[in-house]
Amino acid sequence: MPVHGFLYSQIGYDSGDPMRALIRSDDRDHVAESATFSVTDSDGNEVTTGPVRYWGFAWKTHWWQIDFSGVYESGEYVITVSDAGKTLYTSDPTTIGEHVVWDASFEAVALYQLEERARLARNGVGWKDCGAEWREANSHATMVIGLCTALDLGFEWIDGANTERLRAQIHRGCEYLAILQDTAARLGAPDGSVVHEIPNHMVIIPGDSAQAAVAFGYAARLIADIESDRSAEYVSRAEAAMEYLLLRAEPHSGDNFSASNHGAPAGYVVPPEFMTRDIAMMIWACLELYAAGQTTYKGHAVRLARELIARQITEAEKEGEFYGHFRTFPGSPFTEKANCHHHVGHDTGTTFPHYIVPLLEMRRRWPDHPDAQTWTETIRRFAYGYFLPACSLNPFYLLPMGYFTGQGILSFCGPWHGINTSYGFGAALAVALEGATGDRTFREIAVGNLQWIAGLNAGITAESFGGCVKWKENVPPGVALPYSQVYGVGTRYTGNWTGIRGTIPNGFDVNPQFQLVVEPTVENDEPKLFTDEDWIPHGAGFIAGLATLRKHKFFADS
């Protein structure tokens, strides 16, 4: 059945940010070229008007854009689309003001959700981190990293009581990671490694240790002035994890490597190499340890950066029109995807998307290093050769999955679940690139990926529920309705398994939940299904993106 919908944020818009609404339809003639929009305030006064512009065709549908960006008085506004005196669409009242998305969602996502998940966790340890009873190393490390980003960059906007709540959750996550590290030692695994999960998956995945090292190091740095003993313990644990990775760890075997998710050729044999994303995480851990006073890690960071840069696609090696992104392995015939997490094994925890932020930090810390110009050029190639043009291929500026040989850029083919994590950290990456380049075009990507979660997304249709296990609603056939993906926050919001306020579920996909059965092709690439199982890394990415954007705007927009 043909589908159409009027799509806009369900949480609201920050005044001064790019502010857009979109119309979708299978019919190219659904919206006439003469259509216009108006924005009215709560008193019925028209504050702006303009044309509805056809954006183009993507994901098997047509899109029209309504751009009402500007500086508004804080309040409630209504967006109306009309043509020839006839009203086509009218929005619900939507909020515009300073820091609307942060104010509406921070406490729910970063604090309330985790406090409830702590109550539900097995033995009161860690967090209930998904729809099941699992407590995974990567999800806990990712959440600690997200919370640390909020404490690091957003502390000025968090009151004293909530700061205490935030630190308590950082410690809860680190304490569970410490149990995983101690359990690995008890089982005879190499010192510094962590087991993946207790009690269901007591296996060693090196990527878990890399993320745990970042989490321990980041937390240690932020509490050094108030909890010196605990900070020293976290530094010691981060060092142990990095020493394991640098001296003893071997890349994970090829079990649960998804050739489909990676865009690898059938029968591809996984080499005994770390994935590029693991190397990026190790660089980040080295930087955290350096900041904590362990200066020998500067040399390790530089060496690992050279290894990462050697995998970058040069302009002469373009994939289609794209370059500057990275091979997954040295010489691999495919490139890194934004997210290829699934099952427990090789691809577990692969949710940080193209995360070269540590290179930007190295350039800032060590501008006189002989490699500094190489770092700068690597960042520029990635920003303008891949990241910006790839995100600009859709009307939401949404971070795509990546480039698939013979198909091009795909967005929804691939994810098992967890893609909402990558959108949040993708927003943080976009902010970092704006800071590095001074180019405000990257703001469109940052805001677009956060607003995708806040409600400005492709919309829920009757067909969407084919990917859900628990959440069902009566959406009329042929209609796409905008939903916030933050449970309990927004005018209209999606459901999930646990029903905990602040939870963000898996999101839009083409695969049924927990299955990899749809071939990654342009023909299959569309936001067809919605998957409702919840997982804490989604909130981690969202909070990291919000905090990074707010801090950047404080300086860049003043």
Ranges of the chain whose pLDDT falls below 50 = none
Please, what is the angle between helix 137-154 and helix 536-556, to 10°?
20
The Cα angle at residue 456 between residues 455 and 459, in degrees rounded to 5: 80
100-458+531-556 fold: Glycosyltransferase (1.50.10)
- Is CATH 3.40.50.1370 the right assignment for the domain spanning 1-98? no
Residue 302 main-chain phi, psi, to 5 deg: -65, -45
Amino acid at 36: T
The pLDDT of residue 465 is: 97
pLDDT at residue 185, as a whole number = 97
DSSP label of 312: B
pLDDT of residue 541: 98
Q: Do the Cβ atoms of 286 and 298 come closer than 8 Å?
A: yes
Domain boundaries, the chain: 1-98, 100-458+531-556
**CA 315 vs CA 312, 381, 382: distances in Å:** 10, 8, 10
Mark 7-46 as b/e (b = at least 16 C-beta within 10 Å).
bbbbbbbbbebbbbbbbbbeeeebbeeebbbbbbbeeeee
